[in-house]
Amino acid sequence: MGAWHVGCSMALRNRESSASPVERPAPATSKVFVVFRLALYERTNQGMKTLSTRKGGFTLIELMIVVAIIGILAAIAIPNFLRFQLRSRSSEGKTNLAAIRTAEEGYNAEFGTYLDAAANPPASSGSAKQVWNPAAPAPVPGFDTLGWAPEGQVYFQYEVAGTPPAPGIPMPEYHAVASADLDNDGVFQDWGYVKGIAGAAYGGPGPGIGTLCVASGVYNATSQAQDLLETVGPCDNQSGQAEF
């Protein structure tokens, strides 16, 4: 009887020792950490959903900043662009007067005389370009004889003044002028070229256009006077690029 009780107690102890240990409850701090992580995950997930579903657009302050930046850029860029545009247009008069001078010298070398040419186009068109010969196919008096015509339409009027001292005598001098009102403000800019006799001032009748040009020469920046002969230049200190 005593031996059986000993065996039973031994079996019971073996059974208890082989049984799985009892799980202990988790500490309270671990539960709080888990709850915090779940709450943080839900909050982050909700924020991402809000960002992903936000409709595109700008706020009023953003639009006002953009408008202000555009206004500042326009205030700087537009006047500079207009000034550059006017300067580039004014170069037409200088370039074409140089070409007229070359044509006159070529004509004089062949025929022994210079040649006058009536103002063309007949009238100023302000800031708009105009056809060189609106009376085509009729010839342009003087310029067609010289063999010169501009390329395409022009902003300037052109004229070559000069009169032979007597019928049948070669014309020894001339005064070429280009005139335009590029910014359409009623103020003309005039370019000129004065060819006198033996380095003297032009002695013939003045051109009908280019009222700022004088027979003594174009504007000389060094002497600040209109005394520059045989040089293409502005007729006074207000003409050409100086006007802008």
pLDDT, one tens digit per residue, over 47-58 is: 555 545 555 677
24 within a domain of the structure (yes/no): no
Domain count, the chain: 1
Name the least confident of 44-48, 62-66, 121-125: 44-48
pLDDT of res. 34: 60
104 within a domain of the structure (yes/no): yes
The CA R_g of the chain, rounded to the nearest whole Å, is: 47
pLDDT of res. 134: 82
196 within a domain of the structure (yes/no): yes
108 within a domain of the structure (yes/no): yes
36 within a domain of the structure (yes/no): no
Reported confidence tier of residue 4, pLDDT bands at 50, 70, 90 = very low
The pTM (predicted TM-score) of the whole model is 0.67
207 within a domain of the structure (yes/no): yes
Range of the domain at 199: 72-243
132 within a domain of the structure (yes/no): yes
Structure tokens at 177: 């002028």
pLDDT of res. 159: 96
Kind plus residue range of the DSSP H or E element containing 189: strand 189-195
Cα-based torsion angle of the residue sequence 2, 8, 13, 16 in order, rounded to the nearest 10 degrees: -150
Q: Buried (b) or exposed (e) across 62-88, using 16+ Cβ within 10 A?
A: eeeeeeeeeeeeeeeeeeeeeeeebee
What percentage of the chain reaches a pLDDT higher than 70?
75
157 within a domain of the structure (yes/no): yes
Reported confidence tier of residue 123, pLDDT bands at 50, 70, 90 = confident
SS3 234: strand
